[in-house]
Amino acid sequence: MNARSGTLRYIAIAGLTLALAGPSLSGAVAGRQVHAAATGGILRIADEGESDLPSIDPPSPQAGDAQSSVVENLLYGGLVRLDDKLRVQPNAASSWTVSKGGTVYTFTLRPGLKWGDGTTVTAQDVVWSLTRAFNPAYAAGGVSFYLSHILGGQAVTTGKAKVVRGLQALSTHTVRITLDQPAAVFLDELTYSVAALVPRHQVTMNGSNWTEHAAALGPFVVKQWKHNQEIDLAPNPYYWRGKPQLAGVTVEFVKNTETAYNLYRTGAVDIMGIINFPGNHLKDVQNTPDYHTVPQLFTEYLVLNEHHSPLNKPLVRQALSYAVNRATITRLLSNRFLPASGMLPPGMPGYNKALAGQVFDAVKAKQLLAKAGYPGGKGLPKITLDIDGGDNDGQTKAVALKEFWQQVLGINVTLNPLEHGAYINALTAHNFDLAFIQWGADYPDPQDFLSLLFQSNSPNNNGAYASAHFDSLTRAADIAPHDAASRYQKYQQAEQLLMSDAGCLVLDWGKANVLISPKVKGLGLTALGGGSLIIPPNWADVTVQ
């Protein structure tokens, strides 16, 4: 996981004793008119887990977490987009062609396209924006992998060049992007936030503060960013799909998930649970019209730092994996998730239900640890499991894992709770032994779960898993025709290798649980997580009645 953790879930530490007032959560509470603040068409969204966003500048490493993406998806757009069915659709570009064996993409910009301040968008702006994403200042961000095949991009990132050779404005309205090799998911990658287009004139005029009033290609623009409180958005009058009917959107930063639930109950927000829903309240809401759920392309796993002994030994990693009863952990979490056996979740193209994945086998776990030279855990170096302070279920999961490893293997794993920001920093710096990662799809393709996370050169490979065979399989699949059966077969072989090597320890597959006021019309849920969980058919048609 890079800082972007696809669908991080966040911690709740306080109890809430409000009783449901009726079949719907919408209504008057304690004499207060629920959703009164939204009657003017202001949609209020709870962004759980952080007290503020470190950045909403799309290519920045600090803008890659799920909370930031909630806002970014409202503000920005790229050449193409994912629709509510997760299909690639035109956005800034009205059309494109692909030539030279899948290495040259030529995009035609939409006629009359404007930034949120009314300035015309040109092909030169597109080239400038994508070139900016390769800036060395953003080297730790996702561009170095998501857009790595744009010819000459890495040379800019490493400071060896100032111009990306593969980016060219052929005219005012035509952009050519040349790749160094075919990439099956290139169009999907262009839908991700690192490829979002930003307005050159705003960045030039306002420098690092430009996002305080960002007006880009999304349905909304920044009206006011009240740091450590909320960000207020106004409708983009130049949005190419039509000016939004909403008077605005307010995204409230709510560090505590339980607090977010309380805010929803009292009508202070219209949507909560995009990032995390407090599982202890599921039974309270499941039969109300406010409650919405959908399976997610989501896998939670433990990343094992192979730079640290003894986790650099495959036998130790395998022993840790076989010692975990995933079904028990999901029961502890009220069966809100499915026990995972592989990295690719059900519903993902290439999902292999016949995978010989990771399972619970206490006898085999003991045998493997003894074979590694640590019978009964004797002589095993100290191992620490970091816990994300923003994970609602983190402590429960960590305690369960600790007990499994103690009872099955005879080892005592130290638990280390960290504040969310410190946790992300530790992952990025590879300063951990074991840590939780919750990954939701950026786009529906196995490349996003395998190549992106576990190829040896990927910046998202926090555990430093390295397998030449895995790299060979996934790289071949990455350049194969998008829907070729042989492509998915290679990914399945790579996934089997990853599971057998215990290059990660999978825990669960997820589903989203979200509360949306019945007064909100025009929204829908997708199988993606984080800020991409809600992708309406058209933001311009969303209303709050």
Question: Would you place residue 41 in the very low, low, confident or very high pLDDT band (cuts 50, 70, 90)?
Answer: very high
d(CA 73, CA 66): 10
Six-digit token string for 266: 């009292």
In the predicted structure, residue 195 carries a pLDDT above the cut 60 = yes
| Better pLDDT: 183 or 24 | 183
**Can you count the helices (H) and strands (E) in the chain?**
16, 19
Question: Would you place residue 25 in the very low, low, confident or very high pLDDT band (cuts 50, 70, 90)?
Answer: low
Average pLDDT over residues 193-220: 97
For residue 29, the model assigns a pLDDT of 28
8 A C-beta contact, residue 326 and residue 339: yes
Listed residue (323, 301, 320) closest to 372, CA to CA: 320
For residue 39, the model assigns a pLDDT of 40
Q: What is the pLDDT of residues 221-231, one digit of tens each?
A: 999 999 999 99
- Number of Cβ within a 10 Å radius of residue 373: 13
Six-digit token string for 130: 């994508």
Classify residue 363 by its DSSP letter.
Answer: H
Q: Percent of the chain at pLDDT above 70?
A: 93
Classify residue 280 by its DSSP letter.
Answer: G
Question: Would you place residue 2 in the very low, low, confident or very high pLDDT band (cuts 50, 70, 90)?
Answer: very low
In the predicted structure, residue 428 carries a pLDDT above the cut 80 = yes
In the predicted structure, residue 120 carries a pLDDT above the cut 80 = yes
- Number of Cβ within a 10 Å radius of residue 203: 18
For residue 150, the SS3 value is: strand
Q: What is the pLDDT of residues 288-327, one digit of tens each?
A: 999 999 889 999 999 999 999 999 999 999 999 999 999 9
pTM, to two decimals: 0.83
Specify which residues 224 forms β-bridges with: 232
In the predicted structure, residue 23 carries a pLDDT above the cut 50 = no
d(CA 462, CA 435): 10
For residue 142, the model assigns a pLDDT of 81
In the predicted structure, residue 432 carries a pLDDT above the cut 50 = yes
Question: Would you place residue 494 in the very low, low, confident or very high pLDDT band (cuts 50, 70, 90)?
Answer: very high
Average pLDDT over residues 174-198: 96
In the predicted structure, residue 109 carries a pLDDT above the cut 60 = yes
Classify residue 114 by its DSSP letter.
Answer: B
In three state form, how does the secondary structure of 208-264 look? HHHHHHCCCCCCEEEEEEECCCEEEEEECCCCCCCCCCCCEEEEEEECCHHHHHHHH
For residue 65, the model assigns a pLDDT of 84
First to last CA, the chain: 39
Lowest mean per-residue pLDDT among 12-21, 61-70, 158-167: 12-21
Mean pLDDT of the chain: 90
For residue 7, the model assigns a pLDDT of 34
Question: Would you place residue 12 in the very low, low, confident or very high pLDDT band (cuts 50, 70, 90)?
Answer: very low
> Computed over its alpha carbons, how large is the radius of gyration of the chain?
23
For residue 299, the model assigns a pLDDT of 95
| Dihedrals phi, psi of 59, to nearest 5 degrees | -80, -10
Query: Exposed, middle or buried, 14 (CB in 10 Å: 0-12/13-18/19+)?
Result: exposed
